[in-house]
Amino acid sequence: MGFDVLATVPFQPPAASSIAENVDTLYLVLSGITAFFTVLIFSIIFVFMVKYRRRKEDETPVSTHTPLIVELTWTIIPSLICAVLFVWSAALYVQNGRPPASSTEVFVIGKQWMWHLQHPEGPREINELHVPVGVPIKLTMTSQDVIHDFYIPAFRVKKDVLPGRFTSLWFQATETGTYHLFCAQYCGTNHSEMIGWVYVMTPTDYANWLAGGEKAESLAQLGERLFSQYGCDNCHVPEGNGRAPSLVGVYGKPEKLQSGETRVVDESLIQQAILTPNSVHLPNYQPVMPTYQGQIDSDQMLELIAYVKSLGSEERNGK
């Protein structure tokens, strides 16, 4: 391993993403508030313990009444502190939750008990993720079996990885180095071995790493081949005059379904359309598409999704 001089100091995790410092500042302020009130309560108790200790067995303390102003003070001050904390932490959360449009997408599949990572350019990794420093990376994640959770402590990011749907998280690494990758949702016997490493590299190193691996086709290319292999292109023709709607440019757009519901075409909807087409079919088309449940594994699903997404971007680029 030989990397973790930093990590042997057991009090501060490395802070290596664009949001880490902001989260740490909030953490520090929260720690300060905790320390302040803990010390306050402990010292008041201590002072009262000594000052008002029972000196004679028969003493009767004076009755103190309860002034409303005191009760209001210690109701309102904590409320104000909580209000400030809420606004601050929520603003940070909302801000940290939105990946920049320019993000590079990497697919993640969790399964008992390993992480599959799939770069758009083609390389696949297991329990390792290589990323360039300074580039926003968006992870689109799903699980093949139980619920997992993708957690990189050094980046202060974490998101559950669910079966049957897609979740995403994003980060922008700011320091080159090697960082822990953990599964943070209990997933069975070898949960604690579902761990790996994130390698943050300089752009040059990253380019070399990409070039150095075996030459693989990109995800979208693989998806395109599957698309014709399964005969999808017989009906989903680009011009839109086939038996099925054209998929060009649909990704990210709202579609009105036969059921009347309007849904944005995202990874989950594409998957649903492939596995249970009749549940999302469009009003102007016959429900003739067969289900591909059990025929397409989750790697292939990602490839198909990547292909459909690439159709969208061509359309947008064309305009």
Please tell me whether residue 262 binds another protein under the rule CB under 8 A. no
Q: Which of 251, 276, 245 is nearest to 266 (CA)?
A: 251
> Considering only residues 185-204, where is the footprint of another protein by CB under 8 A?
185-193, 195
Binding residue (CB under 8 A) for another protein from 85, 135, 216, 296: 85
Please tell me whether residue 60 binds another protein under the rule CB under 8 A. yes
- Pick between residue 53 and residue 319 the one whose CB is nearest to another protein: 53
Minimum Å distance from CB 130 to another protein?
A: 20
Please tell me whether residue 259 binds another protein under the rule CB under 8 A. no
Stretch 123-152: interaction string toward another protein, x if CB under 8 A: ----------------------xxx-x-x-
Burial profile 197-214: b = 16 or more Cβ within 10 angstroms, e = fewer:
bbbbbeeeebeeeeeeee
List all residues 6 or more positions away from 210 whose beta carbon is below 8 Å from its beta carbon.
119, 121, 123
DSSP one-letter string for 262-273: EEE--HHHHHHH
Q: Which structure tokens are listed for 112?
A: 């008992």
Please tell me whether residue 75 binds another protein under the rule CB under 8 A. yes
Minimum Å distance from CB 106 to another protein?
A: 17
294-298, long-range: CB within 8 Å, 24+ apart, which pairs?
A: 295/230, 296/226, 296/230, 298/109, 298/142, 298/144
Residues in contact with another protein, total (CB under 8 A)?
Answer: 88
> Considering only residues 18-47, where is the footprint of another protein by CB under 8 A?
22-23, 26-27, 30, 33-34, 37-38, 41-42, 44-45
